[in-house]
Chain A
Amino acid sequence: MIELKDVSKTFTLHNQNSAVIEVINDVSLSVAKGECVALTGASGAGKSTLMRMIYGNYMTQAGEILIGNVDLVQAEPRDIIALRRDVLGYVSQFLRVVPRVPTLDVVAEPLRSVGVSSAEAEARAKELLSQLNIPERLWSLSPTTFSGGEQQRVNIARGFAHAYPAMLLDEPTASLDAANREVVLSLIEQAKVRGAAIIGIFHDEAARDRVCDREIDVSRFTPVAA
């Protein structure tokens, strides 16, 4: 479902003496349906960079990134937009929303945009918000004023609203208490059962051992200083 072939990435900082930083070199990996793969490696090894490349958020200089049959490296913006709407989900560490939009709408939006009726989308959003222990009195408020942990749970609810066939999870259990961590892990397990291909970054080792089938150490793709 997710396949990377000889993928490389460099950053060129034109305004800082045109410094060229090689971040990732020649990555090849593949993730099958129903499989969860963890990216590991020390901080700065390029885990998040690689994940952002797979989402099309960072430009990839060489290689192919195939999600289903779309190559993200070559795809037009509108193909990537369609891919992100229908196929590829991403739970980042930060919630980014239009101010003033109620939490319930924030969570239901991914479903509405794939054509699910408002009523059905809201029902699913409510179900996820209650599972993740967001009190009902907050649903009609914008999440911009919520605490960090609450924002993260809203972000997870939003990320799991639509049943994406491929998912990227950036530290989904960070800063969650035990009960909510358990909910997130079971959401991940359910996603695997329905056949989602998942790539995740987990600093929480117990969580990683429980949901991930394999680990890939990203530091082996980090170029050696020339």
Chain B
Amino acid sequence: MTPLLSVNGITKTYGTHIGCADVSFDLYPGEVMGIVGESGSGKSTLLNCMAGHLVPDAGEVVFDTRADGPKDTVTMSEPERRMLSRTDWAFVHQHARDGLRMGVSAGGNVGERLMAVGERNYGDIRDKATDWLERVEISSDRVDDRPTTFSGGMQQRLQIARNLVTGPRLVFMDEPTGGLDVSVQARLLDLLRGLVRDMGLSAIIVTHDLAVVRLLADRLMVMKSGRVVEAGLTDQVLDDPQHVYSQLLVSSVLQV
């Protein structure tokens, strides 16, 4: 099987400071990979390099495109990469307002992604948007409301609907449950897991919440000072961590 995403030697420095260094892995269709590590360990830098938001200093991010097969997204043309990020990729930001257009209605936020890939029939767009709002448990009578009137959890679910409506194959998530209270987190996790299974999505989730990766991710990478110090099956890394830093990370979690 061809990997959906193949990351080879990604390195990004900020001046003399290392963002992330020499990260490589393959992600296969349907796999969910978690990236954990403390603040400043390079998780978000890596995620942004993969998603085309940052240009890495070295390395390649090879994505298995629908049309042409595996292609390095770092060196592909800007329009090509932009098309990918509208169709096959989705990016869920930690702060929903970074991923939403706050001045546009909820339905408009979802419909905009559809229009970006060429849908033009107003009725179809509205139907699809309403359908997706319901799938993320936002009642259809809120379709014309702006996200500014939504709670944090609802904004996050709206962002997910906006991202998934075009049927992407790969979703990048940056702390998707960060800043939400635990009952809302549980609801979001349940939703994400259902969507990942039903749509056969692959996902890369950056988080510092080990409980989130245990429930969502098949595989786990532990980062420290910009480097991957341990990688493997999620439950193996969490239950029998090998590296000194992973052991510290796992043993530092407070038991509830």
Is this pair of chains taken from one and the same complex?
Answer: yes
Chain A residues with CB below 8 A from B247, complex form:
13-15
Chain B residues with CB below 8 A from A15, complex form:
244, 247-248, 251
A56 contacts chain B at the CB level, 8 A cutoff? yes
Contact with B along A105-144 (1 / 0, CB 8 A): 0000000110000000000000000000000000000000
The secondary-structure label for the interface of chain B is: helix
Contact call B190/A101, Cβ cutoff below 8 A: yes
Q: How far is the CB of A74 from chain B (nearest CB, A)?
A: 13
Segment touching B, from A28-36, A77-85, A182-190: A77-85
Chain A residues with CB below 8 A from B248, complex form:
14-15
Choose among A12, A14, A56, A98 the residue that contacts B215 (Cβ–Cβ < 8 A).
A98
A220 contacts chain B at the CB level, 8 A cutoff? no
B193 contacts chain A at the CB level, 8 A cutoff? yes
Contact call B233/A100, Cβ cutoff below 8 A: no
Whole-angstrom distance between the alpha carbons of A99 and B186 in the complex?
6
For the A-B complex, the count of residue pairs with Cβ-Cβ distances under 8 Å equals: 54
Contact call B236/A57, Cβ cutoff below 8 A: yes
Contact call A81/B186, Cβ cutoff below 8 A: no
Contact with B along A31-71 (1 / 0, CB 8 A): 00000000000000000000010001111000000000000
A interface bracket (residues with beta carbon within 8 Å of B): 20 to 34
- With a 10 A CB-CB cut-off, give which of A12, A14, A112 has the most chain B CB atoms: A14
Chain B residues with CB below 8 A from A11, complex form:
240
Contact call A52/B186, Cβ cutoff below 8 A: no
Question: Number of B residues whose C-beta is below 8 Å from A?
Answer: 24
Q: How far is the CB of B236 from chain A (nearest CB, A)?
A: 6
- With a 10 A CB-CB cut-off, give which of B214, B219, B240 has the most chain A CB atoms: B240
Chain B residues with CB below 8 A from A77, complex form:
218-219, 232-233
Whole-angstrom distance between the alpha carbons of A113 and B197 in the complex?
8
Given contacts A78-B31, A98-B190, contact A57 B240 (CB under 8 A): yes
Choose among A14, A58, A113 the residue that contacts B239 (Cβ–Cβ < 8 A).
A58
- With a 10 A CB-CB cut-off, give which of B28, B219, B236 has the most chain A CB atoms: B236
- Give 20 A-B contacts (CB < 8 Å), ordered by A residue: A12-B242, A13-B247, A14-B244, A56-B233, A58-B239, A58-B240, A59-B242, A77-B219, A78-B28, A78-B218, A80-B233, A81-B218, A96-B214, A98-B186, A98-B190, A98-B193, A99-B186, A100-B190, A112-B197, A113-B197
Contacts beyond the supplied A56-B236, A59-B240, A81-B218: 20 A-B pairs with Cβ under 8 Å: A11-B240, A12-B242, A15-B247, A15-B251, A52-B239, A56-B233, A57-B235, A57-B239, A57-B240, A58-B239, A59-B236, A77-B219, A78-B31, A98-B186, A98-B189, A98-B193, A99-B186, A99-B190, A100-B190, A112-B197
Q: Which residues of A contact B (CB under 8 A)?
A: 11-15, 52, 56-59, 77-78, 80-81, 96, 98-101, 112-113
In order of increasing CB-CB distance, the 4 nearest A-B pairs are: A14-B244, A99-B186, A58-B240, A77-B233
